[in-house]
Amino acid sequence: MPNLRGLTLDAACPRIIVPLFAHSLDALRPLAEAACADPAADIVELRLDPLPEADFSAALALVHGLTGKPLIATIRTAAEGGELALTPDAYAAHCRALLAEGGVDVLDIEWKACGAYRGELRDAARAAGAAALFSEHHFDETPATDEMTRTLIGMADAGADIAKLAVMPRSAADAARLLEATARAAEACPNTPLITMSMGPIGAVTRFCGGAFGSVATFGVTSGTTASAPGQPAAGVLREKLYVRE
């Protein structure tokens, strides 16, 4: 399992990831400072897609220098709910450039968007000393339970160091199915950390109890930061209410 600057990922004690979502370097700096100062934040995610592409390198250097916490570098494409439309070639090129800069502890690799580059980017991340996180997002639905389970297992079988799945529920039953799929995949792939969540108000409960079903981390916002997906609660509230296995 990945060891992120001495931080382990274990569903028995899920970690809190704080996303940094800003449209300029000037706006990014106070967010990074806030995440650094919040003891509830275990890991920081730098969302690069809201920024101008020319600022990616400077943004990575800024956050790496300020937070001192494990850093996930993420370019969320428009196809997966992000703010940047990229071809697979351009997406892969940006990911390679980030790894070359250094300071990346985890590289988010979109399971669908990267297409034929999955294996290459996974290996490049590891060569750079980073964990390869395969991710998939459904902002308009919750797929069938078997499909979600297969997706997570498929990521693990493809060599993901971490597998992530986020879905949008239309009912409480949808949120429950996400937890069921997580539990199934965790049992099938016990050596691959999973990060799963059902988004929005209906799915909010999954961000607090996901550890009971095998999710090793959840996302929350800290003072002054902005949610990067619907339903992310305050990191401090997560710390107080998060399920931790006794």
**Cα separation, 81 vs 139, whole angstroms:** 7
The angle that helices 56-67 and 88-101 make with each other, rounded to 10 degrees, is 40
Strands 3-4 and 7-8: antiparallel
Q: Which two tokens stand for residue 93?
A: 């090129």
Predicted pLDDT of residue 243 = 80
In sequence order, what are the beta bridge partners of 135?
110, 164
Q: Within 13 A of 196's CA, how many CA atoms are on the CB side?
A: 35
Predicted pLDDT of residue 224 = 62
Find the helix or strand (DSSP H, E) in which 83 lies. Answer: none
Domain residues of the chain, as ranges? 9-241
DSSP assignment of 164-233, as one string?
Answer: EEEE--SSHHHHHHHHHHHHHHHHH-TTS-EEEEE-HHHHHHHHHHGGGGTB-EEE-B-TT---SSTT--
Cα-flanking dihedrals φ and ψ of residue 48, to 5°? -90, -25
State the distance between the two ends of the chain, measured CA to CA, in whole angstroms.
Answer: 21
Q: Which residues of the chain have pLDDT under 70?
A: 1, 223-231, 246
The secondary structure of 174-191, three-state, reads HHHHHHHHHHHHHHHCCC
Single pTM value for the model: 0.94
CATH architecture assigned to 9-241: Alpha-Beta Barrel (3.20)
Residue 207 · residue 220 · CB < 8 Å = yes
| Nearest Cα to Cα of residue 99 among 132, 146, 134 | 132
Predicted pLDDT of residue 225 = 62
**Cα separation, 165 vs 215, whole angstroms:** 10
Predicted pLDDT of residue 149 = 98
Catalytically active residues, by annotation: 137, 164
